[in-house]
Structure 1
């Protein structure tokens, strides 16, 4: 009767475990029962527990206690179904090598993102690890922006595989491709949001001959030299320099071709709006000669407001070109002949202003001998 009872007990015991045979090379799921400095005991849902020695559990001089703890579930590789002492000899590292390779194959095929731990900086890039598998990240693929590679040491980063040759242990990954994808997605959203006429804060990134390139938060646009200030600008550097923070107005937006024009000069202080009412036909005012053309000279009356003195209105003398009698930067008196506010054009005369000034001086020089009646006698 006792024999029958023992047989029944053994049968019940075996029902609680997976009694199928296990073989060397199998990969099983296990749960850590106990761990110390030398080994870990693992429940593999089998008649016997498994044991993982330190050498098969961790890489290098690391304590098993730093890697696993009781209750952890992990894949284990069967080295031997029986180590001679009633335990199944297992390896965590060999299981990882197999599962990690399969993970990498799947990630490479499906262009999936994986996480790697950056361990060291070497010539030409970084060495990282996906578990126990070495992954090389070239310096050019470490980031979209220029960075110090050392800043990534010890960090877990996301990458995509660009090359995978496990047989020759060649595994290459890129972090830059992920940053580029994120940047392009963000940029599309930014282009949808930017609107003509709005104000934006930006940073001057580059100076070129025709203007300044400005970043307005992920989008770069051009401030043409004519839009830097209302007055004439000879050199871009006279107004802005690389690194300057500026407030700009958004001009024309071409989201399809990713082009945007920017304006630094304050559109609310457009000189014609500010000074148009101060310029009237017949007025004689001072201005500065700012530009010569074959047909005349441009005179700045206010910053950003210029008028044309036709060559015939410069002097009564016969001259071949404006520079025969004028100089750039020269202050002259001009008479306003005509004002076209709609087209922002002003016609000026220097010779008429000179004649009027001479008449005024003549009367002033002789005012002791001349009466008001003498001055205005022709009017009666």
Structure 2
């Protein structure tokens, strides 16, 4: 090779020049490289190998690897180089496009630090704790090495600032899923669900990615004071879709309508002629409504309350009073139950042991008035 040719091939490099180099030796805190077109040795300090903190140089490169580098300093017999700056320049271009396009991309979590996560995207990306999930996360250790979907929420190349969010991706995914579920939900269909949380006015039930409200009036056929009387968080339940408000993203559900009604098989639960104990729930001018089974009220008509003549049921009954009644008729179709208190008085009268003289007990009526009948015939 002539001296002229050698002069052409050997280049003089200045700070900021882009060069190609091959890793020839890896030391603990630096890497030696052979620079194409230069007789000078090239060296990459460990701090210039990656945007992340690394303990040893071998974590970032390996011998024989070809690298794109930037000259950061020119010494007499040495070029100080940076791999990190080349990676960053390339990365910023890609990141700016992703930011402008509001793009979702996957990346591996490289570090767990105080207050969040660190992701290497050619530049150091930070995920604040509040941007990790749509719920509170106490321990970040499970995220080490995990690949997550991210969006860029803040990008400032001049300040070398890159803020990422996984929470936004999660929230947008749930919003899309909710919209799709709302579109396909049909009024009247029966679904399986999980009770998520309880409030004073009802229970929110997850029906596969979206919550619907079971109002307290739709939790049970019986009157209840609070939702926790019949359900608890985590319960698996069946619900019926009452209505879907797609504009306001609200779903009304019912547990009550998936359960057997209190009037179902009433003829078996309260057969004609049976005697039941119940509670007077309401008094009206024409009688008293008595609850004999949960959710089942029957009417004791004023004429069936007592043998005594009464003007209103209030004369002998009061709300909340416990009474015994006899079933006169049970109609499941019309949800009607006819009851009587008077007929129990009849039975009581027939079985009562009146204080008659011992010799009179067991006599027939005709025996007792026989003499009178004889006198009448004379």
Considering the TM-score relative to the shorter chain, is it more than 0.5? yes
Residue by residue over 1:209-266, the C-alpha shift from the partner in whole angstroms, topping out at 9 and shown as x without a partner, is 3x3222344332333434434444333332223x242332334252734404131576
Of 174, 179, 182, 2:170 maps to: 179
CA contact (8 A) 1:214 1:223 kept: yes
Of 63, 66, 85, 1:94 maps to: 85
CA contact (8 A) 2:189 2:241 kept: yes
Change in 2 beyond 3 A, CA 1:136/1:204: closer
CA contact (8 A) 1:161 1:172 kept: yes
Question: What TM-score comes out, normalization by structure 2 length?
Answer: 0.73
Report how many aligned residue pairs link the two structures. 352
- Are 2:55 and 1:62 equivalent residues in the alignment? yes
Distance 2:192 2:361 in 1: 60
RMSD of Structure 2 on Structure 1 (CA): 4.3
- Quote the offset at 1:363 in angstroms: 9.4
Of 69, 76, 88, 1:76 maps to: 69
Partner of 1:291: 281
Q: Which runs of 5+ in 2 are unaligned?
A: 369-378
Residue by residue over 1:63-117, the C-alpha shift from the partner in whole angstroms, topping out at 9 and shown as x without a partner, is 111211135454421336x7544x7542112223323333332222122235354
- Are 2:222 and 1:222 equivalent residues in the alignment? no
Distance 1:135 1:360 in 2: 93
Question: What TM-score comes out, normalization by structure 1 length?
Answer: 0.72
- Quote the offset at 1:177 in angstroms: 0.3
- Quote the offset at 1:203 in angstroms: 2.9
Distance 1:194 1:299 in 2: 40
- Are 2:347 and 1:317 equivalent residues in the alignment? no
Distance 1:28 1:293 in 2: 98
Distance 1:50 1:9 in 2: 22
Distance 1:20 1:370 in 2: 141
Distance 2:354 2:332 in 1: 35
Distance 2:35 2:176 in 1: 46
Partner of 1:237: 228
- Are 2:223 and 1:202 equivalent residues in the alignment? no
CA contact (8 A) 2:24 2:33 kept: yes
SS in 2 for 1:306: strand
CA contact (8 A) 2:304 2:343 kept: no
Partner of 2:244: 254
